Structure 1
Amino acid sequence: MPVYDTYSKRKKRLAGLVPDVYTYDSIPLGLRNQIVFIVEDIVSDLFGTHQSESVYDYLSGVLSREWGTEYLVDNGEFMEREEEVKNAIRELPDADYVLDIVELLLQTTQEHAKDERNQVTTRAKNALARHIEELNHRFKEHGVGYEYSGEQIIRIDSQLLHAEVVKPALRLLSESGFEGAHDEYLAAHEHFRHRHYKEALNEALKAFESTIKVIAGVRGWTINKGDTANKLVKACMDNGLFPSYYQSHFSGLTNLLVGGVPSIRNAEAGHGQGAVVKEIDPHVVAYTLHMTAAAIVLFVQSYQALPEAQNEPNQ
């Protein structure tokens, strides 16, 4: 379904009533209703009426088990599963539960579409892509800071940074060989969405280090399994990952990387807390995730620009 720029939307923008700062803890009713419409379209286009009941039954069963509840909503035992799922989207006060429903449906649908045995048509796959695009547009339209990307819901703190830094990093890490770093970076965002900030920092650093280790392994550079980020960055410099005439410029960037992602993690998440529990501000974690993504983009693109090594397979 296309998104229309209606008169009421334009009027709200002119009146300054459109949110320009993202929220994360609440989902307005208007957005919830739009999510229900999108869910209906996805189930209809990808599964059809003959499978729709089993899809809603699957969502209800999996999420009830994960949440530790008998049903998704009160009085769920008196409802059809489709009604139960839709009521949960409209009524559950916890935004995370609504996002759980959306994420599980999209993950299940994408797996269904990938399985050749299901013979999902190109038209249906294109429809799914449009539904995901509409969902992300609706989040943005309502100022709710989430997006479905990389087969999971991730939190967005800046639309510009997300588009120009995070997405390119995920796209580069989707290349063959970087699967581990890709999963670790997505895990960092998953922890961040659930406010597990220390775990997010740990996974971000692991993704950064894994990226360099993949590059070093393919190129045959000498590194040790337990090398820290500092040593891994130095190995890249020593092996000419960046042209020599970038030396003066890159020395500052190296200091930023070595003094940024790794040391933030080491200071905030890598050591014992002592008697006082340390709280990490979410904006510090967001900064670290963005900086990690920028570093990954730089390293992978620089690696891709290198002449082919003798021991490197043709791509």
Structure 2
Amino acid sequence: MLNWNDDKTINEILYTSLTLATAKTGQSLIGEADQAARNAIHFCQQTPPVSGSFTQIKNAYIFKNVKHDNFGGVNAAIDGIVKITPSNPIIREDLEITLTTVEMNLTIEYLEGNEFIQGDKNTWLGRITTTTVKPHTQSRLINAQQASKIRLVNKSDQLVVYSQTKKNRFAMTTYTLTDFEFAQYSTLDQNENKINWLSTKAKLHVKHSPIGTYEVSFDNQEQPFMMDIHFPISGHLEIKDQNSSNLIRISADENAKRFNYQVFHQGKPQDKITKDWENFLGWESEIYSFLYSIL
């Protein structure tokens, strides 16, 4: 049974849930899985493996006991299969809609070349779909009305991650993410100024984490985060324990650098606490320029 009066417990749940909820590439489970699959393909296409075999059959990429000596500057062992299925763009009125599905059963072990991740081993099992909506135009310049129609949606019915890392003393931590949905989109205010939004929901089960095993859900679709280029400036996210009445309510601060959270333990509200987005999650600036990179 988790101790919801313990700072370590709250920080672990907050960190894992928020990185997932904001889906920062390379740090969240979804972003890390997608990036690992694409990196494995890219580096093996760029430079032949030292040993093992890498083959492509249509849209499936097969790794058999691959050893690669330049996996982004790290030696790595890769095994498994990745299938990337892009759809042909659909033109609907003045919009271009594309859907890409990434399916994977992929294991990567980092052998040497980076002391921080040497020995780390991760296995990803599951599927991620990405839907992109953007204006159908030949012009590189778009107006505010067109920009407000841009939308990026990531979904995963289930993604299982088996992770052994030096950071966690190589204990096997298992993350099971289900019913994940994440959307980045824009609207216009009454003066036709573009407003960026982020909404998300999911269920997460974590086994053998630094605080033990826990299961939470999170959701902010009713009160999504309003974003500036860097951070949320309004909106709320609620993280609920699936085995008790305990929960955490997070509110974005309008100064775009901080967030407030309040723990409810057995229905009783605890003191509100303020955190700095960048210091708590280790984010760098301009991570939310997502809508500009689509064009």
TM-score by length of 2: 0.27
In terms of fraction of residues, the more helix-rich structure is 1
TM-score by length of 1: 0.25
- Which structure is richer in relative contact order (CA contacts within 8 A, separation 6 or more)? 1
In terms of fraction of residues, the more strand-rich structure is 2
Q: Decide which structure has the larger Cα Rg and report it.
A: 1
